[in-house]
Amino acid sequence: MYNGIRVLTERVPGAYSATIGLWVECGSRHESFEQSGVSHFLEHMLFKGTVRRSAPSIAREIDSVGGALNAFTSSEFSCYYAKVAGRHLPLAVDLLSDILLNSIMDLDELEKERRVILQEIHMLEDSPEECIHEMFMRSFWQGHPLGKPIVGSVQTVQNLERRQLLDYLERHYGGRNLIVCVAGDVEHEDLVDQVAGLFSQHPACFHNRISNPPDPHFAIETNHKDIEQVHFCLGLPAPDQRQDQRFAGNLLNTMLGGSMSSRLFQTLREERGMAYSVYSYLTSHSDAGALVVYAGTSSGEVQHAINIVLRELSRFQHHEPDPDELRAAKELLKGRFMLSLESTDNRMTRLAKNEIYFGYVQSPDDIVRKLQKVTGADLLNLTKEYWNDDKLNLQLVGPISGEGFPSVDLTLG
């Protein structure tokens, strides 16, 4: 469109629903440290009333057609989305555009939502399984915007003012930062015509958000809490979203702790009964990534559990996986991917992320082909390129102190 807004659609034959997302290429990494949490605060406030609709009216309107309306904020983008029956898509487009273009930012609503967000922060702090991941990211990406919590801190949220939200909205929500994505029961030209009419006066401004990639930091840090378990995250660098090595990274993660048949789930939970919750995951951004292992166990077994994790990481760094194990991981990921295509929510999200990270939409066949091409040697090469002892990071929270870890040798061996 003339003001830079991109409109992407995928018509899904036989789909009854349509999912629409208004994506803003702006997230927590684009905030100053003083205004940490402003993207998330703004996400909350856009649902609190417009010139045309009150907050209760917004909720009643989407409920009246059996739809769902929500939003989320991440490090690199924010998304406002709705899922409705295809015949109600024009209503969803109108509603989402209204909250984005015409929100009034009422001061009373702002103060109420400030209290809600502060409660959200306290809720996260009260959950060790939640806060350990934030501890890890803060330490691993130390001093970089990617290490900031998306919700902000108590101090920054308390200090944010209405004028700062409005200024952030004006600077970062211009047309060149917006993507409208719809998957399901949709006609592309009809959607383009509606978006063009609704956003005809929206400015095309684009805010330069270039920042340097972060450097991973080595650390062993403990946070004593009087709770039953010790929760820990142990992580290493991984490929970013734009590298084809991410396919090898996803396969490695699947075999390590990303499934019920993974090495860590089978060893720590099924064989030894050391943890109820144990898993690994990849977190990938446009210019950086991390592979993270999480587990919660007793204080008497946490050292042993960490050593088992390090042993499995070392195995990946020194030995190619068994061909049958690699083949099974490929089938698992291919199966998950193909099943995800049955959801208009997932198809819409895939459209947007492909546009954000690659500038084009990869076909499902291309995804499967690249996944299938990964070899055991590719996994070895990935670990040799990204994994070093001086990049390991270990965070722990629970009934433990820093002096309790003389036997943990934080190396891959």
- Report the DSSP beta bridge partners of residue 183: 10, 19
**Torsion-angle region of 4 (φ positive above 0: left; ψ -120 to 50: alpha; else: beta):** left
43: annotated active-site residue: yes
Q: DSSP string of 258-297? A: SSTTSHHIIIIIIIT---S-EEEEEEE-SS-EEEEEEEEE
How far, in Å, CA of 89 to CA of 245, rounded? 37
The whole-angstrom separation of Cα 223 and Cα 217 is 18
The single-letter code of the amino acid at 381 is N
Query: For 73, phi and psi rounded to 5 degrees?
Result: -125, 140
H or E segment at 165?
Answer: helix 162-172
Cα→Cα distances 263→257, 298, 301, 352, Å:
6, 20, 18, 33
Whole-angstrom distance, CA of residue 333 vs CA of residue 330: 5
CB 44 within 8 A of CB 117: yes
Q: Give the up-direction half-sphere exposure of residue 288: CA atoms within 13 A in the CB hemisphere.
A: 20
**What angle is formed at CA 325 by the lines to CA 413 and CA 269, rounded to 5 degrees?**
70
Distance of alpha carbon 194 from alpha carbon 266, whole angstroms: 52
Q: Which of 334, 409, 331, 345 is nearest to 368 (CA)?
A: 334
Q: Residue 115 and residue 120: Cα distance in Å, rounded?
A: 9
The CA-based angle 210-216-220, given to 5 degrees, is 145
Question: Choosing from 10, 43, 134, 301, which is the catalytic residue?
Answer: 43
Rg (CA), the chain: 23
Pairing of strands 178-184, 6-11: parallel
Tokens for 350, please give them: 């895939």
Active site residues: 43
